[in-house]
Amino acid sequence: MLLVGLTYNLKSGSKNGEQNGRSAVPEPIAPDAEAEYDDITTILAIKKALEGNGCRVTLLEADKDLPVKVAEAKPDIVFNIAEGIYGRGREAQVPALLDFYKIPYSGSDATTLCIALDKSLTKRLLSTYGIKAPKGRVITREQDELAGRFHYPVIVKPSAEGSSKGISDAAIASNRKELQELIKKNISLYKQDMLVEEYISGREFTVGILGNGRNIHVFRPMEIRFVDRGNRYNIYSYNVKQNYKEYIRYDCPADISRAAEAEMTDTAKKIYEALSCRDFARIDFRLSPEGDLYFIEINPLPGLAPGYSDFPMIAEFNGMDYDTLVWNVLKSALERYGMISSIK
């Protein structure tokens, strides 16, 4: 029977579903400091899905003791959803450790995760493939004053974060004063460089991808529709995601033309392959009123919270239930490592 290690990071106090006085991360200084981390219910849902397909599962929380845990557990393969603890390259921490031990794992490798977490770096790389993205500029922590001109409105986001972390409902600046104040506030909270991008009005979409090589499957796009259409700047912020039933309606498949859907899915696949993603990922786009498609960002380690995260929601809309989705992610990894015979 296949032994699967499940690596993850828990939100503070969610171990075993209760507060226990020990935090996996330092005390948060921002309201969304643990936005990328998982609740114990997600961990148990993945465990149940894998066990339902005949696997033994050992839980491996990605804390400072992970190297010892992995060495002792000796899993055949690891199902990785760990976001890492600290730093610009934190999502690469667990994959790099597993590579060091030569242990197979699901999902993209350390290099891809490092690049994809850095939004500006990702877009510079993808520009060489002709991928269109909003014009932007990185403002470093060391800059005291803004230099150069900006075309307002602009959106401000931490350069190396995911899960809408650092993107508040007030992330749009319409003039230089607002931009300066927003950058100062965000650098103080997130202790990193800020990416300032032109705000692209229009419709927002996300596309899920599963598999590798000839077996890549691109799900039909899901549109993220904002209930309050009168809001001038609708953005998929952290608060909106937390309270999505109040602010959002999801349409999948999205109500767009065949040509627009084909462009979106083809572009998503091109991005997936250009960044050497593996097994699964989710890619976000904006479609301007003029019909121009803009790449916003990619998450090669998308959330798998049942009933909440976009990726399992996309899969379900496309006819794939949660347990099947989780299994297909692991199955893709097993096929990639030539281990598929071990489950037959």
Tokens of 37: 């981390």
Total number of domains in the chain? 3
What letter would DSSP give residue 148?
Answer: S
CA atoms within 13 A on the CB side of 174: 3
User: Tell me: the pLDDT tens digits for 174-196?
Assistant: 888 888 888 888 888 778 888 99
Give me the CATH number covering residue 207. 3.30.470.20
For residue 50, what pLDDT is reported? Answer: 97
| DSSP H stretches of helix in the chain | 40-51, 66-73, 93-100, 110-117, 119-127, 176-190, 238-242, 244-247, 258-274, 310-317, 322-336
How far apart, in whole angstroms, are the C-alpha atoms of residue 318 and residue 339?
27
Does 59 fall in a domain? yes
Q: Which of 285, 303, 302 is closest to 294 using CA atoms?
A: 285
Of residues 44 and 25, which shows the higher confidence score? 44
Tell me what pLDDT residue 56 has: 97
Is 224 inside any structural domain? Answer: yes
Instruction: Say if 340 falls within a structural domain.
Output: no
For residue range 233-292, list pLDDT tens digits in order: 666 655 666 666 667 789 999 999 999 999 999 999 999 999 999 999 999 999 999 999
Residue 344 lies in a domain: no
Same domain, residue pair 68 and 161? no
CA atoms lying within 13 Å on the CB side of residue 135: 6
300 occurs within a structural domain: yes
pLDDT higher than threshold 90 for residue 306: yes
pTM greater than the 0.75 cutoff: yes
Same domain? For 331 and 240 the reply is yes
Identify whether residues 54 and 124 lie together within a single domain.
Answer: no
The pLDDT value given to residue 184: 85
Instruction: Domain of residue 173: give its range.
Output: 136-198
Q: Please compute the mean of the pLDDT values over residues 36-55 and round it to a whole number.
A: 93
272, 285 Cβ separation under 8 angstroms:
no
Is the distance from CB of 238 to CB of 190 less than 8 angstroms?
Answer: no
* pLDDT, mean of residues 46-54: 97
pLDDT 10s digits, 198-216: 999 899 999 999 999 999 9
Would the pLDDT of 127 be above 60?
A: yes
Domain boundary, last residue among 198, 222, 245: 198
Same domain, 34 and 76: yes
The rounded percent of the chain whose pLDDT value lies above 90 is 62
Specify whether the CB–CB gap between 150 and 182 falls below 8 A.
no
Q: Is residue 341 part of a domain?
A: no
Where b means 16+ CB within 10 Å and e means fewer, 83-122 reads bbbeebbbbbbbbbbbeeeebbbbbbbbebbbbbbbbbbb
- Model pLDDT, residue 14: 42
Distance CA 209, CA 322 (A): 15
Rg over alpha carbons for the chain, rounded to the nearest Å, is 20
CA distances from 87 to 105, 153, 190, 337 (A): 22, 29, 11, 29
Whether 103 is covered by a domain: the verdict is yes
Task: Tell me how far apart the alpha carbons of residues 75 and 89 are, in angstroms, rounded to a whole number.
Answer: 24
Question: Is 274 exposed, middle or buried, given 0-12, 13-18 or 19+ CB atoms closer than 10 A?
Answer: middle
Tokens, residue 291: 């019909």
Averaged over 150-171, what is the pLDDT? 72
Asked whether residue 147 falls in the same domain as residue 41, the answer is no
Residue labelled with tokens 């899905």: 49
Residues 189 and 206 in one domain: no
* pLDDT value of position 22: 41
pLDDT in tens, 61-79: 999 999 999 999 999 999 9
**257 & 122 share domain:** yes
Report the alpha-carbon distance of residue 208 to residue 302 in Å, rounded.
9
CATH of the domain at 35: 3.40.50.20
Q: What is the DSSP string of 71-93?
A: HHH--SEEEE----SSSTTGGGH
Omega before residue 253 within 30° of 0, cis: yes
* 147/144: higher pLDDT: 147
Q: Within this chain, do residues 25 and 8 fall inside the same structural domain, yes or no?
A: yes
Same domain, 145 and 173: yes
